[in-house]
Amino acid sequence: MTEETLLSLRDVVFAYPDAPPALDGISLDIRRGERIAVLGNNGAGKSTFFLVCNGILRPQSGTLFSDGKPVDDTKKVLAALRRKVGIVFQDADNQIIASTVESEISFGPMNLRLPLGEVEALVDEAVERMDLEAYRQRAPQYLSGGEKKRVSIADILAMRPEIILFDEPTASLDPKNTALLERTLEQLSALGITLVVSTHDVDFAYRFATRAVVFSAGRIVADASPGAVFADGDVVAAAGLKRPLLFEAARLVRRAFPQIPQAAPPRTLEEFARMLGLPAETDP
Amino acid sequence: MEQTGVWTCAAARPAAAIKQRRFPFPRPHSHGAGMLSIDQYAQRSRLRGVSPFVKAGFALAVLLLCVGADLAAVGLAVSAGMLLAAVFFSGAPVRYVLSLMAVPVLFIVASCLAVLFDVTAEPLGFFDVPLFGFCLSATEAGLRQAGRLFCRAYGAVACLYFLSLTTPMQELLEVLRRLRLPRIVIELMYLIYRYIFLLLDAQNRMTVAARSRLGYAVRRGAWYTFTHISGSVLAGAFRRSGACFDAMEARCYDGTLRFLTRQAPVRRRHVLLCCAAFLPLAALTALLKWKGVDLF
């Protein structure tokens, strides 16, 4: 089964002035409905990769294709690309510019020059989806970190993107908000939105993603299912990754009890319990 | 298990259901004790549901009356009335509003002194300061004039405090925008207002970090720390501006800030209430002018 390719990069190279290339020959296809985890150390090129996907940075060589057509510098093509591919930035404070939540969410649709009625409908929908109804007239400077993150996601949802790139979305969230974010990501994925999430949280990546792309020094060193990526010792060492705890635990259990039938490695605690032949744990 | 947290991405309600919602303004609420800033009181004022045009129009009308009347009694009445209104509608404690009123005292007193004293050839007033063959005399007329000026100035200040304690910046910007202030000015004001809080926050965090390392323990060290923090805030602002611009471009920013703004509508009730507050003041002014009397 071949899913429709939404975005593809071919041999993309990008270097900031006076620095080694941040992206050094990246080729990648993003297909509809995927849940991609982008892994790699700081400085491996993840954020630069996102900015290229959205047309903020232009590849110095190589090409970005959107729906099979090369992306050029014309305003129309760029606007279409930016509507299709949204970025939720790591620091919500860098993204939020308006002085009320409602105005903030309207910024994207307003820039698309849609009729006001349509802008209102898009804002209403995004507000509804991120449950921000009570915050509409609030000023962003008095929101909590989790609330700001919700606003920054609503910002992007209001543009009805096909792909959303999340740049380290859990970086400044507490555990409760991280859990809620993960649920939101599940729901976005269920809506058919393609998700690309850069993260240092390998446990989350392992649980959530259908595909893991590993960056190291501006190159893609692995692009496969999370199970396969974490099983590959060379990749894990080269990219300085840690293996997910559950993955390691399952490996140890298999070594201790070879009689356990071989199956796909467990991705959640429930799957782990099933592998051990236990009933699923229920929270107290 | 369904969590009770607020994050979600549930399917949107049908549009019809959304249209019927009431105009949602945050209820006034407080986060424990402690002073809030003017901005915070404005954001949660009880007048958030009143059109900013009504609030600004009312404050401006009263201000013009107070300044134009040039009567001490009107000035005092406006000061008292506007301060009471500011306290009542913003929910700020009286003590806080009074401390705000203390801020301009020095300026007002300085200008009143300038009016009080006249330069004369010989002592004429009830209080004279000889000065190089001339005389600085405080006359009774000068005293009356200074008193009137003081009351007028305070009335005007009270009007502005009323406005700033009940009307948040985004509402004022909307008023200025509709009044056709140049777009560049409005956009700058938007961005400056937004980034004040980010820069203040950065400055705060650095100050706390410096304090924890005794950066302010001695006076010379304090200057050193202060200048370095200021420099870092500036450098940080430059770095941040790049990231912010990227984020704006990612949402198709093309050189013009465009936002959807929803303002509380102008309601007849509010306009009538404003008139009801304004008319007695106007009547008082007219009466005093007609009789030619004032407090002093």
pLDDT of residue A282: 63
* A81 shares contact with chain B (CB less than 8 Å): no
* pTM recorded for the entire structure: 0.83
Residue B166, judged by CB atoms within 10 A of its CB (0-12, 13-18, 19+), counts as: buried
- Please answer yes or no on whether B10 and A187 come within 8 Å at the CB atom: yes
Cβ–Cβ under 8 Å, residues A40 and A97 = no
- Mean pLDDT score of chain A: 91
pLDDT in tens, B210-260: 888 887 777 778 888 888 889 999 998 998 999 999 999 999 998 888 898
- Mean pLDDT score of chain B: 84
Average pLDDT over residues B72-96: 93
Tell me the pairing of strands A219-224 and A194-198: unpaired
A113, pLDDT greater than 70: yes
Identify the three-state secondary structure at position B13.
Answer: coil
pLDDT in tens, A194-224: 999 999 999 999 999 999 999 999 999 999 9
B112, pLDDT greater than 60: yes
pLDDT in tens, B162-189: 999 999 998 999 999 999 999 999 999 9
Name the closest residue on chain A to residue B49, using Cα atoms.
A137
pLDDT in tens, A18-70: 899 999 999 999 999 999 999 999 989 999 999 999 999 999 999 999 998 99
Average pLDDT over residues B136-158: 90
Pick the CATH number of A5-242 from 3.40.50.10600, 3.40.630.30, 3.40.50.300, 3.30.1330.60: 3.40.50.300
B23, pLDDT greater than 50: no
Name the closest residue on chain B to residue A89, using Cα atoms.
B247
Average pLDDT over residues A94-101: 92
Identify the three-state secondary structure at position B14.
Answer: coil
Average pLDDT over residues B52-75: 94
- d(Cα A274, Cα A276) in Å, to the nearest integer? 5
User: E strands, chain A, where?
Assistant: 5-14, 23-31, 35-39, 61-66, 69-70, 85-88, 163-167, 194-198, 211-216, 219-224
- d(Cα B50, Cα B39) in Å, to the nearest integer? 17
pLDDT of residue A263: 74
pLDDT of residue B226: 87
| DSSP H/E element including B127 | strand B127-131
Average pLDDT over residues A264-272: 84
- d(Cα B59, Cα A210) in Å, to the nearest integer? 60
- d(Cα B22, Cα A137) in Å, to the nearest integer? 13
Burial profile B278-291: b = 16 or more Cβ within 10 angstroms, e = fewer: eeebeebbeebeee
pLDDT of residue B29: 43
Residue among A17, B296, A36 at smallest CA distance from A9: A36
B92 strand-pairing partners: none
Chain A from 89 to 118: CB within 8 A of any B CB: 89, 91, 93-100, 102-104, 106-112, 116
Question: How do the domains of chain A map onto residue ranges?
Answer: 5-242, 244-284
Q: What is the complex's ipTM, to 2 decimals?
A: 0.86
Distance between A128 CA and the closest CA of chain B, angstroms: 6
Burial profile A162-174: b = 16 or more Cβ within 10 angstroms, e = fewer: bbbbbbbbbebbe
pLDDT of residue B10: 53
pLDDT of residue B210: 86
